[in-house]
Amino acid sequence: MRRLIADLPPPIDFRGGERHAPMTEGTFLRDRGKLRGADAVAAILLLEDRRYVLQLRDDMEGIFYPGHWGCFGGAVDRGEAPPQALRRELKEELEFDAGAFEEFTRFDFDLSRLGQQRVFRIYYEVPVTSSAFSRMVLHEGAEVRAFTGAEILGEPRVTPYDAFAIFLHYCRQRFQP
């Protein structure tokens, strides 16, 4: 479904007291479908005002953390370099042609005790102008929204690995060489 970001309703104002809906089982815990780890890339989409652009993942079976906020990105296809995969994923998910970007961090996951292999997730910092943000077209996910670092890190349903990457990015000045 094609939805221009500019045509989406404004974000919900949670200041009225009901900030977080109670966590329900939903698809997240009810799903019994098989999951398969894969090498992946993720975009830390950063607007000029330092807000992070994130996706509310579809609440569907067969994906990691359905119904949670997370970074845009996805699996690296066979024979594809990670930066190529990121460009492809952003084009497919948002019709966004990323300009220059750089690697921010990498997480490695050892899934061998689950009968699978070691996989990585590489995060890239991707600058986004407000003009480019308004032209994005959402093709994957239930919603897209821009959050300050404090806002997204206060949300109860954020994919944990993406939350950690955003925390590292948001608090990067606290890390001393």
Tens digit of each residue's pLDDT (9 = 90 or more) over 142-175: 999 999 999 999 999 999 999 999 999 999 999 9
pLDDT at 11: 44
Q: Structural domain boundaries of the chain? A: 35-174
Confidence class for position 14, pLDDT limits 50, 70, 90: very low
- 3-state secondary structure labels for all residues of the chain: CCEEHHHCCCCCCHHHCCCCCCCCCHHHHHCCCCCCCCCEEEEEEEECCCCEEEEECCCCCCCCCCCCEECEEEECCCCCCHHHHHHHHHHHHHCCCCCCCEEEEEEEEECHHHCCCEEEEEEEEEEECHHHHHHCEECCCCEEEEECHHHHHCCCCECHHHHHHHHHHHCHHHCCC
How large is the average pLDDT for residues 20-35?
A: 66
Has domain 35-174 been given CATH number 3.90.79.10?
A: yes
Which pTM was predicted?
A: 0.85
